[in-house]
Amino acid sequence: MQMLYEWELGGNTPEQVGASFFKERKADREVQKFARELFRGAAENVKKLDALIREHAENWRLERMAAVDRSILRLAVYELLHCPETPPAAVIDEALEIARRFSGQGSVEFINGILDSVLKSLPTARAKS
């Protein structure tokens, strides 16, 4: 989420963000690899992710959402769509924990509502896993 946030607000390319992000932060190789894969996938698919988020964010324009919330949603929606090995409940729970830590009041409920709606729109096999 932090890489997506940095990418959107910092104006750097995904490659620049991916190369510099872990220079200042400690994480083991597997965590770094997974984080970079999620970031790269979300950045490469941002238009598709944004369209899906817009579809499920009733009465909210993406541009009016807090940048942190957009980043959390993009990451979670990407993971719901492209990481079938991760249970959807775990994806949503993690997104909500990140919102509690990094976002403002009301964001947890807002993000939960959108992610729940996105999940319900996915094929039945994925939504039940």
Q: In this structure, what DSSP letter does residue 24 have?
A: S
CATH of region 2-127, choose from 1.10.630.10, 1.10.940.10, 3.40.800.20, 3.50.50.60: 1.10.940.10
What is the per-residue pLDDT across 114-123, written as a single tens digit (0 to 9) for each? 999 999 998 8
**Spatial distance between the Cα atoms of 56 and 79, rounded to a whole number of angstroms:** 16
How does the average pLDDT of the chain come out, rounded?
90
Is the pLDDT at 126 greater than 70? The verdict is: no
User: What is the CB neighbour count within 10 angstroms for residue 124?
Assistant: 8
Q: Which residues, in sequence order, are CB contacts of 15 under 8 Å at separation 6+?
A: none
Which pLDDT band holds residue 46 (cuts at 50, 70, 90)? Answer: very high
| Lowest mean pLDDT across 2-6, 16-20, 110-114, 121-125 | 121-125
Q: Are 69 and 106 in contact (CB under 8 A)?
A: no
Token output for 28: 């083991």
Q: Are 95 and 76 in contact (CB under 8 A)?
A: yes
What pTM was computed for the model? 0.88
Give me the residue spans of the domains in the chain.
2-127
What is the per-residue pLDDT across 60-100, written as a single tens digit (0 to 9) for each? 899 999 999 999 999 999 999 999 999 999 999 999 999 99
Q: Which residue has the higher pLDDT, 59 or 78?
A: 78
